[in-house]
Amino acid sequence: MAAGVAFVNSNPARVNLQNFGEQTPLRLAIGPGTYLVFGRIVLGNEDPDAQNAGARMTSKDGSDLIDRANVRLAAHSSQTLALQGTLRVDGNTTDVIDIRCSTFIGFAQEASLFAIEVSQLKFKP
């Protein structure tokens, strides 16, 4: 079996999140192939009250959901969220995987994305 290719991107920078408006702190362009995709993001709450927060890993400029995670963050706290899934990019096209985040008053930071090319996917029935 030939070795696959891994596409990797990370961004430690902080992105402010306000009023549940979705922000995209990280994108990763990939070429044709079949991939296992993994993402990580730290979400923080800067509000004096507990708040809901969420992250989505998507492709096709946010239209195709790969994975999502929603949490309740305590006041002035942060939490690391892990995202994972699979993706097929057909033909001679490219796609972009991204992480999209939101909360009321907070931040996203330390984002990372990995897309590991595999020869095939086998899903258990």
Would residue 124 count as lying in a domain? no
Domain of residue 16: give its range: 6-115
CATH code of the domain containing 52: 2.60.120.1340
Average model confidence (pLDDT) across the chain: 94
The answer to whether the CB of 73 falls within 8 A of the CB of 45 is yes
What pLDDT, on a 0 to 100 scale, did the predictor assign at position 48?
A: 97
User: For residue 30, is it left (φ>0), alpha (ψ between -120 and 50) or beta?
Assistant: beta
Q: What is the pLDDT of residues 95-115, one digit of tens each?
A: 999 999 999 999 999 999 999
Number of domains in the chain: 1
Structure tokens at 109: 């930071």
- Residue 16 belongs to some domain of the structure: yes
- Residue 1 falls within a domain, yes or no? no
Alpha-carbon span 36 to 83, nearest angstrom: 11
Q: Distance between CA atoms of 50 and 73, rounded to whole angstroms?
A: 5
Asked whether residue 120 is assigned to any structural domain, the reply reads: no
Q: Are 47 and 78 in contact (CB under 8 A)?
A: no
Spatial neighbors of 112 by CB under 8 A, at least 6 apart, are 8, 9, 10, 11, 26, 39, 40, 41
